[in-house]
Amino acid sequence: MPPLPLIDFLALAFFLFAWVGYHFYVDRMSPRKRGLNAMMNTYRIAWMEQMSRREVRIVDTAITGSLQNGTAFFASTSLIAIGGAATLMRGTDDVLKVFSDLPFGLATTRWLWEVKVLGLAAIFGYAFFKFAWSYRLYNYAAVLIGATPPANSPHVEERQRALMRAARMNISAGRHFTRGQRAFFFSFAYLGWFVSPYVFLLTTAGILYITWARQFASDARDALLREERHATHEQIENH
């Protein structure tokens, strides 16, 4: 097996470092500056608290079903993408000929092309498993919602524990969905490698910035922050 060209190796290493590094930054190393997902987790808990007070939980089952449907859609899309990657692998010779006829050309070998396609298939495979597991977790969350004692139950502590179990399961399902969606985002960066390693570096940096901005500098996060500041301001005035 021939060695990977240095520039391709560096571009791939930067891609993996950006993806894994962003994962640890968002999920484990940013407690002070909460991202949009972390802020939404508090509302997932609030949702379960409201659910536990409702006698009829049709709204909660409808929301859970909607979340499951979205997860199932992305899982199906992942399988289609894996099939597309397999098609690229099967038609390597034809694809290389098409790319070589393009104005910018494509200086690559058959071996390097197959490595790129296998990497793309691995990304979509990872996304599929994340979405499939998220779908299963939403199933568990639906069961836990159904198992939460009613609002008029005398066992208050048991109801609190039940709603927190449902909330944690819901948060876990959302976390795995986010990781699968993140794989989709970084797959767009990975496509730059099919053009050249230099484009790969640029697309990785661009996707890294976009994903960071959506978590920490988006209007959606600002909307939640404004509500939290408003609630804090009201609490101060009331005291």
Q: Give me the pLDDT at residue 102, please.
A: 60
Amino acid identity, position 188? F
pLDDT at 87: 84
Indicate the SS3 state at residue 56. Answer: coil
Rounded Cα gap, residues 225 and 159, in angstroms? 30
H or E segment and range at residue 35:
none
pLDDT of amino acid 233: 43
Sequential DSSP letters for 21-33: HHHHHHHTS-SSS
Give CA separation, 202 vs 15, 65, 82, 134, in Å: 10, 38, 24, 31
- Per-residue pLDDT tens digits of the chain, which is 239 residues long: 567 888 999 999 999 999 999 998 887 765 556 788 888 999 999 999 999 988 888 999 999 999 999 999 999 999 999 999 888 877 766 666 666 666 655 566 778 888 899 999 999 999 999 999 999 999 999 999 999 988 877 788 898 999 999 999 999 999 999 999 999 999 999 999 988 899 999 999 999 999 999 998 888 888 888 766 555 444 444 44
- DSSP string covering 182-212: HHHHHHHHHHGGGT-HHHHHHHHHHHHHHHH
Over its C-alpha atoms, the chain yields an Rg (Å, rounded) of: 23
Alpha-carbon distances, residue 171 vs 158, 236, 237 (angstroms): 20, 30, 33
HSE-up of residue 146 (Cα within 13 Å, Cβ side): 9
**Residue with tokens 């599929």, as numbered in its chain:** 128
- Where are the chain's structural domains? 6-234
In this structure, are residues 78 and 127 in contact, taking their beta carbons and an 8 Å threshold?
yes
Q: Quote the pLDDT of residue 235.
A: 46
Contact between 213 and 22 (Cβ < 8 Å):
no
The structure's pTM equals 0.86
Buried b (16+ CB within 10 A) or exposed e, 64-83: beebbebbeebbeebeebbe
Which tokens belong to 29? 């190393």
